[in-house]
Structure 1
C-alpha cells in the first residue's frame, strides 16, 4: 500500500466553509468544478483559473446533480429539476419518489449512457425517534423520463459511493450506515444491476464511506466521512492507498483539471458544533495531484429533459 502524502501535498483551493459540500463534477467544456452544498442549499461552480466561485440558491435541499449542456439536472428535496445557468431558470421534471418530509436525495450521478441514478438519506423535517431503522432504508433509483422512477438496488440506509467502472459493466454503491461498499454486474444497455457482493468493508474505520469516483485505471477512490481520509481501492477490492485529509469530514472526490489528474475533494461542517464552524479546515474545497487521470463526467441524456 502506498504511503499517504504529507499535508503539504494537499492544497485548500476554496475557503467555502460549506455546511455539506458534496457531488463535485468536472465540466470539461467550461473547465470548472460544479458542486453542491446540500444544506446551503446551493449549486456552485468553481473556476480554478481565477479562484472564483459563483452559486445558485436552490428552493430546497439539493442532494446531487448531473451536468447538461446548459447547466445541470438538480435533485432537490421536492423533486428533480433542470437548472439553466445561462438564463437562470429552474424547470420541474419529476416529483421526488419518496416522502419529502422524511427523506432527501443524497449521492447520485449518471451512468456511461447518461441515465440518472440517485439515492436518499433519512433527514426528517421534524425528529422522528419512533421510526425504526428498517423504515429508513430506501433503494437507489433510476430516472426513466416523463416523471417516472424505478428501483435499481435493494434498500440501503444512507445511499453513497455511486460509481461505474471505465467499461461501464461494474457498478459500485455504498451504504454509509453499514460502512459497506458493494459492487454489481451492470448491464449498460438495460441500465440494470445484479449479483451484489461486498467490494470493500470499512467497519474497521472510525469513519464511513461517502462519495466516490473511478479513475481511468478502474481504481475506486472513496471519501471516509468522519475518518478524515481518502482511500483508493484496486478493481479487486484491495486498498492501494490511504490519503490523510486536512478535514475530518471529506465528502466526495472527483478528478478534474485540463489533464483530469487534479483530485478535488469537497467537505462538510454540519457535524461540528456551531461555535467551531468557520474556524477549522472543514467545509473547504481541497485539491491534490493524482497518480492517474480520471474519466470525463457522464452527461445527463438530454432526451429526458422537458421540452422547452
Structure 2
C-alpha cells in the first residue's frame, strides 16, 4: 500500500500537540499549547472546531467516562465538552505539579505526565515524572528529566518508554502493570543531532516505536530493539507529536508547530525560516496502530 500524506487541518498553531483519536465519535482531538486551545475534527469534516479555550493544555488522553484528561502549565485536568474543566491535581508530596508536557494513560487507567523543566536562558530545576492513580493520589516516579516528552508502553506491557528531548534520548524502563511502578531506566534510542529532537511518540500493534522529530521534518519508526526501520518525511520542520486513528487504526495524525525557536540544539545549518509547521497532517499507510489506553481517574 502506498503512503498518502495530506493536510488534515491547515492551521498555523504556535505549538500543535497532544493528538488523541476518539474512536467512539470518530474524531481527532489536539491542542495548541501556545494558544491555550483544544480542537477537534472528524475525517470527513471540512474544518476543525475549537472546543475549549483559555486553558493551557500541552497533551491529551481519553477518559473512560467520556471526554479528556489534559496536562499543562497548571497541572492535570479532566474535561467534557460543554463543561468547565475539573482540576485533578496540582500538588504532590508538598511540591507543585506544573509545566506538564506529554501525558499517557496506562492499562489500569493511571495517568503519567512529565515536566518541561528545561529553560535555555537560565538554570533549570530537575524535571519530574508524575503518576496519578485512579483514586486521585499523585506521586513522583522519576526525576532528573530535562524536557519530558512522548510516553508509551510495549505491546506486552512490560516496558515503559519515555522521551527526554534535550539529550535526544528515549529511555526504556521495566513496568509493573499491577502497581504502576517503573524501574531500571536504560538508554534505548538516542537520536543524532542531525536527526533533530525526539518529541511525541506512540507504539503500533507490532511493538514498533514511532517518534516525531522536532527540527527533523518527519516521523521515524524503530523496531523493539531500537533499530531504525523507516522514516516518513513531512513538509514541516517542527513535527511535534503523533497518534494512530481512523476506522482501522492505519491512519497516522501528526501535529506540528509554527513557533520560532532558534537554538544551538538544532541540527548544524538548520534553516529556521518557514515552513516550520503549525498544521496537522494525515498519513494513510499499511501499518496498524492500536487504541491508546483511557484514564480512569
Q: TM-score range by the shorter chain?
A: 0.7 to 0.9
Matching residue of 2:101: 106
**Per-residue displacement from partner, 1:142-173 (whole Å, max 9, x unpaired)?**
01356532112232100012011122111110
Q: Identify if the C-alpha distance between structure 1 residues 111 and 145 changes in structure 2 by more than 3 Å, giving closer, same or farther.
A: closer
User: In the TM superposition, what is the alpha-carbon distance from 1:47 to its structure 2 partner?
Assistant: 1.2
Q: In 1, Cα distance between the equivalents of 2:136 and 2:107?
A: 21
Spell out structure 1 runs of 4+ moving beyond 4 A. 96-100
Equivalent position to 2:58, from 54, 63, 69: 63
Q: Does residue 1:235 correspond to 2:224, yes or no?
A: yes
Contact 2:8–2:281 (8 Å) recurs in 1: yes
**Structure 1: segments with no counterpart, 5+ residues:** none
**Structure 2: segments with no counterpart, 5+ residues:** 263-271
Equivalent position to 2:37, from 42, 61, 76: 42
SS of residue in 1 equivalent to 2:211: strand
User: In the TM superposition, what is the alpha-carbon distance from 1:39 to its structure 2 partner?
Assistant: 1.3
Q: Identify if the C-alpha distance between structure 1 residues 154 and 79 changes in structure 2 by more than 3 Å, giving closer, same or farther.
A: closer
Q: Does residue 1:78 correspond to 2:67, yes or no?
A: no
Q: In 2, Cα distance between the equivalents of 1:204 and 1:123?
A: 18
User: In the TM superposition, what is the alpha-carbon distance from 1:104 to its structure 2 partner?
Assistant: 1.4
Contact 1:61–1:104 (8 Å) recurs in 2: no
Trace 1:206-217 onto structure 2 (pairs within 5 A): 206-217=195-206
Q: Does residue 1:169 correspond to 2:164, yes or no?
A: no
**Superposition RMSD in Å:** 2.4
Q: In 2, Cα distance between the equivalents of 1:249 and 1:279?
A: 10
SS of residue in 2 equivalent to 1:112: coil
Q: In 2, Cα distance between the equivalents of 1:212 and 1:145?
A: 24
User: In the TM superposition, what is the alpha-carbon distance from 1:129 to its structure 2 partner?
Assistant: 4.4
User: In the TM superposition, what is the alpha-carbon distance from 1:11 to its structure 2 partner?
Assistant: 0.9
**Per-residue displacement from partner, 1:68-100 (whole Å, max 9, x unpaired)?**
233111223222222111x32222222255657
Superposition TM-score, scaled by structure 1 size: 0.85
Matching residue of 1:291: 286
Equivalent position to 2:188, from 195, 199, 202: 199
SS of residue in 2 equivalent to 1:62: coil
**What is the aligned residue count?**
284
